[in-house]
Chain A
Amino acid sequence: MFGMQSETNTVDHAEVSKFEAMANEWWDPHGKFKPLHMLNPCRLDYITTQIAGEFGRDLNAPLPFAGLRLLDIGCGGGLLSEPMARLGADVVGADAAERNIPVAQVHAERSGLDIDYRNTTAEALADQGEQFDVILNMEVVEHVADPLGYLTACRILLKQGGLHICSTINRNPKSYAMAIFGAEVVMRWLPKGTHDWSKFITPDELYDLLQQARLKPVDRKGFVFNPISWSWRISDRDLSVNYVTASVSPQA
């Protein structure tokens, strides 16, 4: 059903077992990426609904995203790249951290998925003239030095009429309490110093940046954590901590 990895791996055995251990860590629902795994169904629900809507695809059909070229920026262990490939998209996973690439490759191979993982950045891909129908830009923009330059590179990478999905964290006292004090200090979900609160962006600021990058924002929603059910849901109104936006590259 899925294309198999065609190239043989040339990395030596000790390296491979190290990467396999790291891949297991990335994909362990109870391991150090637990918060991402908890959020993932919510992120995927938003992403799949937006792509299906923008490109007129039926999520009940086999391989609904066939024919779409998709870039996952900050792909990590492939938590978003793999589902997108499984839905039929032609996926490039990019990560600036070199060590993530073989880890993601090992896991994709194990899952029987063909994904083009590259140690590169959005800016470098734009310089190479790469073009995509969909860009996933999830939990990245709060970590970059020049958000406008970065979002502009994303727009250049997008085909006309392409879809750009960007999630990040709001900047207010509540997001400080939840994301930094809650997730990093109390729960130890994330390593201390993962986030720099001053780099957080409000939804209005992000809309403004997207427009300056000549993208057209079309939707925004909140990802809300419920500590009672211990799960995430999508909210139309509550964008106070985690939120996601969809924007399109205007037709010429």
Chain B
Amino acid sequence: MHAHISLMSDPSDITIVGGGLTGPTLALALANAGLTTTIIDGLPRDTLADAAFNGRSYALALAAQRLLQAIRIWDAVEDHAQPILDIRVSDGHAGAGPSPLALHFDHAEIEEGPMGYMVEDRYLRRALLDAVDAIPDIQVMNGVSVVGQTVSQRAQVYLDDGSMLDTQLIVGADGRQSGTAQRASIRRNGWEYGQTALVCAIEHDLPHNGTAHQFFMPEGPLAILPLSGNRCSIVWTETDENAVAINALNDASYLEVLHPRFGDFLGEIALAGRRFTYPLGITIAERLVEDRIALVGDAAHGVHPIAGQGLNAGYRDIAALAEVIVDAHRRGEDFGSLLVLERYQQWRRFDVQTLALATDTFNHLFSNDNPILRMGRDIGLGIVNAIPGLRRGFIREAAGLTGDLPRLMQGRPL
């Protein structure tokens, strides 16, 4: 099947398929514990580093920020990061502003500091690529694709340039359509929402004071997330039909549609960077592991980007998988064996399913114009708001500080 295969001379302990945000983060976490990795990415290096990602940003939960600290790239990201000090959640109608009963989460109610940080893709990606380049234990292969994988006592990855990598473990960090999962015959469950997220960054006149807003509109949620300076990231969800129409507009008309949806509290607005669209859907891998194979990030669970939990969940995968691998390696266990990898699956599976169900329910409940549902929602939000203990629970949840946290997310070394 694979004629003229050349074996790479120096096999890495772990081969990571996918050079996005999760793959390099995992490689850095493992390198800190002395394990060698090879990252394979189909895109050429300059594409990954270029400014085409301007305008994309992530709401990093506090726990994920601690992971970036642990792998020593937070310093390079921090200058451009915007702390999220407040989260306001409200139910709204286009043009009518938020309803009177709204949820308000203030970081002063928990001791850990801000609830999280807004980090722009261009800075996070740059910092990860620079850190990876500086570490000899991490090899990066850009512009090559995986065409096959086999598993025996070790694992083999076959590339489209005819070469083969021999490795102890293959990690699929290759996104919602994970080829690693497909090649391992891991099936996926999922569905589409018939909704599309419109994403852009804006500049505005008035300060945002570090407040993140989430408005639940009948067409879908609208999030306004503070970036450094007088800028915000907008994640705006519409039905697929509306999204196509809106996306076809020129910038000025696009802004005319957007502006009335959240009112005037930021003053005049202008686009700052490119516009993106993402069709929404959930896709969850049936299993997170196989013998010598583990899935992380969107390859394991692509969720609705509501509340920015996608990357945070991916980072939880990485912190958990790195801990399972490194602990096993120090004990002399075979960390690519199913015996060891099942510990990672057991740790993450419950979280993954809960997250998918919660974001899905949340979205179904809020993307609705039924007056009774709306009233129930407003009362529900009011109740959560009125009970400090419950509200603190939500804040800690939003900061990613609940559950059985991996050491890297508690600010501890591996």
Answer yes or no: are A and B bound together in one complex: yes
Task: List residues of chain A with CB under 8 Å of any chain B CB.
Answer: 27, 29, 37, 40-41, 44-45, 48, 59-62, 82-87, 110-112
B34 CB contacts on chain A under 8 angstroms: 60-62
Decide: B342 and A29 in contact? CB cutoff 8 A. yes
B residues 311-340 in Cβ contact with A at 8 Å: 327-328, 330-334, 338-339
Cβ-neighbour of A48 out of B332, B338, B342 (below 8 A)? B332
Measured in the bound complex, the distance between the Cα atoms of B335 and A44 in whole Å is 14
Confirm or deny: B33 has a beta carbon within 8 angstroms of a beta carbon on chain A.
Answer: yes
The answer on a CB contact under 8 Å between B332 and A83 is: yes
Question: Residue B242 at the A interface, CB < 8 A?
Answer: no
Q: Which residues of A contact B333 (CB under 8 A)?
A: 40-41, 44, 83, 86
B153 CB–A CB distance under 8 Å: yes
- Please determine whether B339 and A87 come into contact, CB atoms closer than 8 angstroms: no
Give Cα A230–Cα B327 distance, bound, in whole angstroms.
Answer: 19
Q: In the complex, A37→B339 CA distance in Å?
A: 8
Complex CA–CA separation, A245 to B301 (angstroms): 44
Contact partners of A84 in chain B: CB under 8 A: 332
Interface CB pairs A-B, < 8 A, 7: A29-B339, A44-B332, A61-B34, A82-B334, A83-B333, A84-B332, A111-B153
Chain A residue with minimal CB distance to B341?
A29
CA distance A48 to B339 in the complex (A): 19
Binding site for A on B (CB under 8 A): 33-34, 153, 327-328, 330-334, 338-339, 342-343
Q: Say yes or no: B330 contacts A59, CB within 8 Å.
A: yes
Asked if A86 and B33 make an inter-chain contact with CB atoms under 8 angstroms apart, the answer reads no
Cβ contact within 8 Å between B153 and A48:
no
Q: Quote the shortest CB–CB distance from A26 to chain B (angstroms).
A: 11
| CB neighbours of A41 from chain B (8 A) | 327-328, 331, 333, 343
A82 touches B153 (CB 8 A): no
In whole angstroms, what is the CA distance A111 to B332 when docked? 12
Is there an interface contact between A27 and B339, defined as CB atoms closer than 8 Å?
yes
Residues of A contacting B331 in the complex (Cβ-Cβ under 8 angstroms): 41, 44-45, 48, 83
Residues of A with C-beta under 8 A to B153 = 110-112
A87 and B343 CA atoms in complex are apart in Å by: 21
Residue of chain B at shortest CB distance from A84: B332
Q: Give CA–CA (A60, B33) in the complex, Å.
A: 7
Task: Please name the residue on chain B nearest to A27 by beta carbon.
Answer: B339
Which of B33, B330, B331, B334 has most A Cβ within 10 Å?
Answer: B331
Give the shortest distance, in Å, between B293 (CB) and chain A (any CB). Answer: 16
Quick one: closest A residue to B13, CB to CB?
A: A1
| Whole-angstrom distance between the Cβ of A79 and the nearest chain B Cβ | 10
Write out the residue numbers on chain B whose beta carbons fall within 8 Å of the beta carbon of A40: 333
B342 to chain A: closest CB distance in Å?
6
Q: Give every chain A residue within 8 A of B334 (Cβ-Cβ).
A: 82, 86, 111
How many Å from the CB of A113 to the closest CB on chain B?
10
CB-CB nearest in chain A for B330: A59
Give complex CA distance A37, B332 in Å: 14
